[in-house]
Structure formats: C-alpha cells, structure tokens
C-alpha cells in the first residue's frame, strides 16, 4: 500500500514545475510528450503516451495533439534552453494542447494521472490569467498615455494663446 504522505509530496513536486513545462508553439500553449510521460510517471515513457493516442485517434484531433515539424522544434529549442529533446530520437516530439492533456488524462486512468492533470489544468489557467492581466495592464497604460498626450496638447495650446 502506498503511503499517502509520500504520494502528496510527489504531487506537490509536480505542481511546482508544471508551469515551466508549458511552451508556446505557433501561438498555442503546449506540453511535450516526454515531460507529460515524466509527470504521469509512465513506465515506458513517451511510448506509453503515443500508444494511448494511437489507440484512440478520434479523441486526439490535430488541434489537441500533433508531432512538431523540424522548424517548430528548432524554434522551440531556441526560445527555451531547457527544451532538451534528443536529436537522436527517431521522430520529433508530440505536443499536447490543454484539451489534449485533458483527453490524455481520460485515457491514462491512474490516481497519479488524475492528480497531475488537475495540476496541469491549474497551470494553464494561471498562465491564461497572467496573459490576460498583462494585456489589460498594457491597455490601461496606453489609455493613460493617450490621456496624458491630450492633456499636454491642450496645455500647449493654452500656453500658445
């Protein structure tokens, strides 16, 4: 029987690093198959994940999961120094969107898969909130700058008179 305290600590470790495992490819947030395999503690690594996808093709349309092409893989490597996917691999890595990760969780039916999936979904939500807040703050700054410019123009016109 697995000690619950040990299992909870493993899940906390997962939660700490999940956000750093979400990358952007073609303006889409994705996770690599190799990192998901580690998180889900797959015994056969990416082979187990790719087999699950292969066995359930209708659950993984292209918008949920795909193999990176050479260009996208190089761009990912150049943007993220931590993305260390072996060039010796037979094929490029498969990536999963948020929906793809959720679909994968429905196939990998283990307790750890459920807990990890919850942590991954939370990480995607945090990133979405961060981006949303950043955009909102940028819009506010632009609005403030525009107001200041209008005030400066008005002040300059008054000074000229």
In a domain, 78, yes or no: yes
Sign of CA dihedral 48, 32, 84, 126: negative
Token pair 């087999």 is at which residue? Answer: 51
Q: DSSP string covering 102-122, please?
A: HHHHHHS-SHHHHHHHHHHHH
Domain tally, the chain: 1
Spatial neighbors of 72 by CB under 8 A, at least 6 apart, are 25, 26
In a domain, 77, yes or no: yes
Q: What is the pLDDT along the chain (161 residues), one digit of tens a residue?
A: 444 444 444 444 444 577 788 888 888 889 899 998 888 888 888 898 999 999 999 999 999 999 999 888 888 888 775 555 555 567 889 999 988 988 888 887 666 766 776 777 777 777 777 666 666 666 666 777 777 777 777 777 777 77
DSSP 20: G
Spatial neighbors of 50 by CB under 8 A, at least 6 apart, are 33, 94
DSSP 95: E
What residues make up the domain containing 24? 4-121
pTM of this prediction exceeds 0.85: no
In a domain, 80, yes or no: yes
Q: What is the CATH number of the domain that holds 17?
A: 3.10.260
């Amino acid at each position: 029987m697995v000690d619950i305290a040990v299992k909870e600590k493993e899940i906390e470790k997962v939660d700490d690093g999940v956000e750093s495992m979400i990358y952007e490819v073609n303006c889409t947030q994705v996770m690599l198959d190799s990192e998901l395999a580690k998180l889900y503690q797959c015994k056969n690594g990416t082979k187990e994940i790719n087999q699950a996808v292969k066995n359930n093709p209708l659950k993984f349309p292209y918008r949920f999961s795909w193999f990176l092409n050479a260009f996208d893989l190089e761009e990912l490597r150049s943007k993220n120094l931590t993305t260390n996917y072996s060039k010796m691999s037979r094929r490029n890595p498969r990536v999963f969107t948020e929906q793809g990760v959720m679909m994968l969780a429905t196939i990998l039916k283990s307790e750890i898969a459920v807990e990890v999936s919850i942590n991954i979904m939370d990480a995607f939500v945090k990133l979405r909130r961060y981006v949303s807040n950043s955009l909102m703050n940028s819009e506010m700054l632009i609005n403030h700058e525009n107001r200041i410019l209008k005030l400066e123009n008005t002040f300059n016109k008054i000074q000229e008179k």
